[in-house]
Amino acid sequence: MTSNHNPCILTAGMNPWYINHTAREAQKFGCLGGYWMGSACPDGVSRDLYKRIWPYHLAQKAFYHLPFVDFEERMRWHNLPFYDIWMAQQALPEEVNVVQAPMGSCEALFKLALKSKKPILKVFDAPNSHPTSQFGYWQRECDLYAPGYYLPVPQWVRSRINREIEMADVVLCPSFFVRDTMIQNGVPPEKCFVSHFGVNTEIFKKRESLPEKPRFISVGSLTVRKGQQYLFRAFQKVKEVIPEAELICVGGQRPDFVYEIEKWKGTFTHYDGVSHTVLAKMLSDSTAFVLPSLEEGFARVLSEAMAAGLPILASYESGATTVVRDGVEGIIIQPRNIQGMADAMLKMVLQPEENMAMGEAAYLAGAKSNTWADYTKRLLDEYACRLAEM
C-alpha cells in the first residue's frame, strides 16, 4: 500500500452526533486531516485541525439548550444554509483524501471534494435508515399514535439527503438494517459498508447474577419511532403473569409520545437522563435489555447492555442483528408483535439459566471489537482499500 492510499480524513457536520469520536480516534491513528464543526472542539482533537462553522453556530446557538427538542431539530434544518455558505468558502487541506459527514451535512462538503484535482473518497455517514424508509416508518407510527404530528425533517431536507447518497462513493451504515434500507431504495450494495458504532465498554461491568425482582430496562428517547408504545402493551401482559415485574425507561420524551405517555404513567419508572456511571449500575441490576425500535441507525446502548452481560431483546430495526444472534446473545423481536415481545420477556424470567447463558454470550460479544478505536480502525482499513481502487 502506497502512502497515497493511507486515509487522511476530514470530518465535518452541523452537529457532532458521534463523529467527534471518529475524529478523536482518527487523530490517534495519525489519519485526521481536519474537523470542521458547528460545535466546540472536543477533547482529544487538535485545535490546529479544528475549524468552527461560525455562521451556523451563531444562527443555531439560541436553540441549543431549549427544552423543546422538536423545535431545536426543526431550526437545525432551517439554519442549514448558513452551514452551506461557510463551507463554500473553504478549501480542503492538501493532504486530505477522504471527506466524511453525517446525513444532511454532506452536500456542500462533497462539492468541495469534487473541485479537487485529485481523487477524494466521499463518505456519507448514515446515522439512520434511508430517508424514504425513515420517514415512512416514523410517520406511520405518528399517524397511529400521535395523530396530527408531522416529522421535524422537511421534504427538501430528505431530497437533499437523497442527493448526498447519490454523490457519495461510500455509504457508511452502522447496521444491517440501515444497509438493507439503502439497497431497497436503489443504492448499489457495493457502495455500502457496515460498521456498528463504538462504545466505551470499560464503564460497564458484567452482571454477576439476576436481580431478585424481575426488572427490564429500555434506554432511548420516548418516541413512537423507538416502539415504546408496543413495549408498554407487552409489559402489561408480563405483569398479568408476574405482578412484581418492573420496567425502567431511560431517555427524554419527544413530542410525538405525548398521548402515549399519559396512558401508561405509573406502569413504569422513567428517568429523563442519567450519567453513564448510573446507567452502568442500572444495567447490571436488570433481568434483560429491551429495545423494540421501528427505525434506528444502531442503538449504541445495545453494546453497552452487552458489555454489562445482559441478554438483548431487540428488533432488527434497532440494529441489533448486526451484533446479536437470535437465541444466542438474546432474542430478536418483532416490534409490533406485542404478544411475541411479552413472551420473550417472560422467557427471560421463567428460564433463568438461559437468561444467564445469553447474558454471558452477550458479554463475550460486547466486550470485543466494540470500542471507538475498533470502529475507526475498521473505517480506515476500508477507506484504504477503496482509495487503492480509485
Cα–Cα distance for residue pair 22/8, rounded to 1 Å: 12
**Amino acid, res. 387:** L
Place of cell 447490571: 284
**Mean pLDDT, range 281-290, rounded to an integer:** 98
DSSP letter at 49 equals G
Cα–Cα distance for residue pair 120/108, rounded to 1 Å: 14
**Amino acid, res. 225:** R
Kindly list the distances between the CA atom of residue 247 and the CA atoms of 108, 231, 289, 316, 378, in Å, as whole numbers in the listed order: 44, 10, 10, 21, 36
Q: For the segment 345-366, what is each residue's pLDDT rounded down to a tens digit?
A: 999 999 999 999 999 999 999 8
Pick the CATH number of 201-366 from 3.40.50.2000, 3.40.190.10, 3.40.50.970, 3.40.50.720: 3.40.50.2000
Please give the mean pLDDT across all residues of the chain: 96
Residue 2, pLDDT > 70, answer no
pTM: 0.96
Q: What is the pLDDT of residue 35?
A: 99
Residue 3, pLDDT > 60, answer no
Q: For the segment 216-263, what is each residue's pLDDT rounded down to a tens digit?
A: 999 999 999 999 999 999 999 999 999 999 999 999 999 999 999 999
Q: For the segment 159-203, what is each residue's pLDDT rounded down to a tens digit?
A: 999 999 999 999 999 999 999 999 999 999 999 999 999 988 788
> Taking each helix axis from N to C terminus, what angle separates 176-184 and 131-145, rounded to the nearest 10 degrees?
100
CATH superfamily of 3-198+371-389: Glycogen Phosphorylase B; (3.40.50.2000)
User: Comparing C-alpha atoms, which of 175, 178, 169 is closest to residue 197?
Assistant: 175
Q: Where in the chain is the domain with CATH 3.40.50.2000?
A: 3-198+371-389, 201-366
Q: For the segment 264-279, what is each residue's pLDDT rounded down to a tens digit?
A: 999 999 999 999 999 9
106 Rama sector, left if φ>0, alpha if ψ -120 to 50, beta otherwise: alpha
The DSSP H or E segment spanning 380 is helix 372-389
Q: What is the pLDDT of residue 1?
A: 36
Residue 131, pLDDT > 80, answer yes
The DSSP H or E segment spanning 47 is none
Choice among 41-45, 308-312, 364-368 with the minimum mean pLDDT: 364-368
Cα–Cα distance for residue pair 285/197, rounded to 1 Å: 24
